[in-house]
Structure 1
Amino acid sequence: MSAAEPVILLGAGGHAKVCIEVFRARGLFDPVACIDPYAKENNVLGVPVHRDEDSQRAFLDRGVKWGFVAIGQNSLRAKLGADLQISGFRLANAISPRACVSPSATLGRGILIMPGAVINAEADIGDHCIVNTNAVVEHDCRVGIACHVAPGSVLGGRVRLEDEVFVGTGASVTPNNVIGKGTVVGAAAAVISNIAAGVTVVGVPARPIIR
């Protein structure tokens, strides 16, 4: 078995913890540093924390080729992931060996797939996405850039999420529906029709919050 590739993580919070454990369980990448100027701790699960933003360049100069954004906020994750690539890093994928990923699915770069997640036939997962614990992405779904499908949520067949959508814990989206860019689906909501961009929907059936 070849040695694991070193990878740096941007972020040093709770989300970084789960990413580190997934990387270690898979064994393809070895987290060597968390870079976060706002970090409160000096290490995350034994991985040293660097607060100097110039650390990225230092690791690149030392031959570390891989990076990963371990931050839960969708738009920030997308921005930092793009910045990593501009800096010269390749984006690693953190895919749990306890996830079920169809061989016909298409996976982007910089994605996290947690234990118990299911990604079924010919689903397409965009860059910087999170498919969280026990979430289900059914056949032929299209999940845009920097989306988060939260724990226990379910996307029915042929659902399309535009970029930076958040589907909350235990929520469901029935087949063939489209959710617009930046929309938030509240926890345990049931989406049964198309949802416009940039809104927050809650309830069963899911309806926009009126502000």
Structure 2
Amino acid sequence: MTTRATLDNSARKTATDRVLILGAGGHARVVLDILQQAGLCEPVGFLDNNADIHGRRVDGLPVIGGIDALADIAKREHADGVIVAIGDNGARRGLARQVDQIGLKLISAIHPAATLAHNATIGRNVVIAAGAIVCANCQIGDSVILNTGCIVDYQTMVGEGSHICPGVRVAGRAKVEAGAFLGIGSTVVPGVTIGYESVIGAGAVVIEDVSPMATVVGIPATPIKLANASEEEVAMLAPAGA
């Protein structure tokens, strides 16, 4: 079972995990706030590769060093867990895999004001912000961001490393494949598949399947470009069986 910052009040008083936050930008500030409000772990500090901010404090927490030094810093700080707080989908997913290789524990951060169905499945390194709603039988993969006030309705699958932006509404039985980005305020109708690494523009209304790596905008959403990718990249990003 994944370690999560949840709204379980009974566990608030027994925080045990010392957690390092990878990244020190805007999204990392949000993640820190979620961890602090949930109260189930002790954030130790940020790691960021921008040497100019090493030694500074971000919202009261120190930037300890670079991400490349994660293993050594975790040992020195007696850190039990790590969360990757970087908005870029590919970077977040890649760093999460590095954390696995090092052998550290990836935790998730769930805001106390988020609503999760009891039978929803939540992966590791997931961030669920305030006001987000995850409905019955949803499956949320590793390294997903469910941002402020988004709705993921029943039996929807959200693939690894995707980002559902603030105010997005994903209707039931949809499938959001790995690495997809659903822009702020967009809407996905029931049963639609959003292809891997695709981008849904802000405010778009998706009424039919979106091809992998496509960018769609407007009402109804229509494609504007298809990203160039090598066969090797496509094979790596494609979900099993694609």
For the pair 1:43 / 2:50, whether they are aligned, the reply is no
Letter in 2 for 1:51: G
1:171 — aligned with what? 186
Match of 1:72 among 58, 78, 87: 87
Counterpart residue number, 1:148: 163
Q: TM-score, normalised by structure 2?
A: 0.84
Q: Does 1:86 align with 2:98?
A: no
**Correspondence 1:139 to 2:154:** yes
Query: In the TM superposition, what whole-angstrom CA distance separates every residue of 1:97-155 from its partner, at most 9, and x where no partner exists?
Result: 00000011000000000000000000000000000000000000000000000000010
Percent of residue pairs bearing the same amino acid type: 36
Counterpart Cα distance in 1 of 2:131 and 2:64: 31
Cα distance in 1 for residues equivalent to 2:84 and 2:75: 15
> Which of 31-40 and 62-71 deviates more?
31-40
Tell me by how many angstroms 1:30 deviates: 1.6
* C-alpha separation in 1, matches of 2:174 and 2:166: 17
Query: Could you say what the CA RMSD is over the residues aligned between the two structures, in angstroms?
Result: 1.3
| Number of residue pairs matched by the alignment | 211
After TM superposition, the structure 1 stretch with the greater mean CA deviation from structure 2, 49-58 or 113-122, is 49-58
Tell me the amino acid that sits aligned with residue 64 of structure 2. H
Where does residue 202 of structure 1 map in the other structure? Answer: 217
Q: Counterparts in 2 of 1:111-130, with a 5 A limit?
A: 111-130=126-145
Give unmatched runs, 5+ long, in structure 2. Answer: 1-12, 227-242
Q: 1:4 and 1:132 mapped to 2: Cα distance?
A: 26
Structure 1 residues 13-28: aligned runs within 5 Å: 13-28=25-40
Query: Is the contact made by 1:12 and 1:39 (CA closer than 8 Å) also made in structure 2?
Result: no
Give the residue type in structure 2 aligned to 1:166. F
TM-score normalised by L of structure 1: 0.96
Kindly tell me: are residues 55 and 104 of structure 1, through their superposed partners in 2, closer, same or farther at Cα, counting changes over 3 Å? closer
Contact 1:179 / 1:197 at 8 angstroms: preserved in 2? yes
Partners in 1 of 2:122 and 2:65 — Cα distance?
Answer: 31
After TM superposition, the structure 1 stretch with the greater mean CA deviation from structure 2, 179-188 or 56-65, is 56-65
What letter is aligned with 1:46?
G
> Does residue 195 of structure 2 align to residue 183 of structure 1?
no
Mapped partners of 1:76, 1:51: distance in 2: 18
Of residues 49-58 and 112-121 in structure 1, the stretch that sits farther from structure 2 once superposed is: 49-58
